[in-house]
Structure 1
Amino acid sequence: MSLATTAAPLAVTRPGRDHTDRGEFRARELSATTLLIAAVGEVDASNSGDMLGYVEHNVTGYQQLVIDLSRLTFFGTDGFSALHTINVRCSRRGIDWVLVPGPEVARVLRVCDSEGLLTTAGNIVSAVAALARGPHTHLQLAK
C-alpha cells in the first residue's frame, strides 16, 4: 500500500505564534500493515482536531499504528483527548497501536492516563517490537 501523504505534511499555525510553533503531522508506511504518524511542534486546542483527523484519514487499511509524539515542544490536554478518541476508534476497528511520547506528552499522561491504559514505548523501534509481540488491549468496549 503506498502512502501519498508522506511528502505533504499538514501544517497548522497557532494564531499569534510564528511558524516555528506550528504542529506538523507526517505519515510513513513502515510495512504493509504498519503506519507511523509523527508530529513535531505543538499540539493544543487549536490543532488537536487536526491531529485526530490526520490519523483517521491515514490509518485506513492498516492493522497497526505507531504515533510518535517524541518531538513535540508542547502538548495540551486537548491532545490527550484526541489520543483517547484515537484509542477508542482504533479499538473498534481492530487496529493495534503504540504511542511514543516525549517529555511534553509524558507530563500530560502522568495526569490524564495515570493508570497507564495507553501502550507507550521509548522510541519507534521499541514501539514496532511491542506491536510484533501481539495485540494490546487498550479499551474494553461494551457489546
Structure 2
Amino acid sequence: MIRVIGDIDAANADQLVDQFHQAAWCEWLVLDLTTVEFMGTAGLAALRAINARCAEGNVQWALVAGRAVSQLLAVCGHDQTFPTSESLTAALASVHKLPK
C-alpha cells in the first residue's frame, strides 16, 4: 500500500511514480490518496502512468481517493478511468478479490 499525505503536483508527482516502481513487483497495490489536499494535472498524469503499468504487469490495484482527488478526477472526466474504492477495506477486498 502506498499512502500519500499533502499535495501532489509538478514538484513531486514523479516521486509518486518512483514509489510505485519500487512496489511494481507486487501482485496488488492500494493507493491511498484520502489525505491528499491538492492534486494537480501532474498527479493525474502519474495516476495514468500507474494505471498503464498495472495493466501491463497484471497488477491488481485500487485507488482510494479523498475529496480533492475525487473532484479533480470528476472535473477532468476521469472519475471512471481508475479502479476506485470507497474505503481502504473495500480497496483491499477488491485487490484480493474478496467480497466487499
Calculate the TM-score normalised by the size of structure 2.
0.90
What do the CA deviations read for 1:33-58 (whole angstroms, capped 9, x no partner)?
xxx10000110011001111111112
Match of 2:87 in 1: 123
> 1:44 corresponds to which letter in structure 2?
D
Task: Provide the secondary structure at the position in 1 that maps to 2:53.
Answer: helix
In structure 1, the residue matched to 2:35 is 71
2:68 to 93, 104, 109: 104
**Aligned residue identity for 1:131:** V
Structure 2 CA distance for aligned equivalents of residues 52 and 114 of structure 1: 18
Give the total of aligned pairs: 98
Which runs of structure 1 show a deviation greater than 2 angstroms over 4 or more consecutive aligned residues? Answer: 111-115
The percent identity for this pair of structures is 31
Secondary structure in structure 1 of the residue aligned to 2:85? coil
Per-residue CA deviations over 1:84-115 (Å, capped at 9, x if unaligned) read: 00000111111010000000100111023446
Unaligned runs of 5+ in 2: none
Would you say 1:85 and 2:49 are equivalent positions?
yes
Letter in 2 for 1:105: V
Greater Rg over alpha carbons, structure = 1
In structure 2, C-alpha distance between the alignment counterparts of 1:114 and 1:85, rounded to whole Å: 13
Q: 1:114 to 1:90 in 2, by over 3 A?
A: closer
Match of 1:50 in 2: 15
Unaligned runs of 5+ in 1: 1-35, 135-143
RMSD: 1.4
Instruction: Determine which structure has greater relative contact order: mean sequence separation of CA pairs < 8 Å that are 6+ residues apart, divided by chain length.
Output: 2
TM alignment of 1:5-24, pairs within 5 A: none
More helix by share: 2
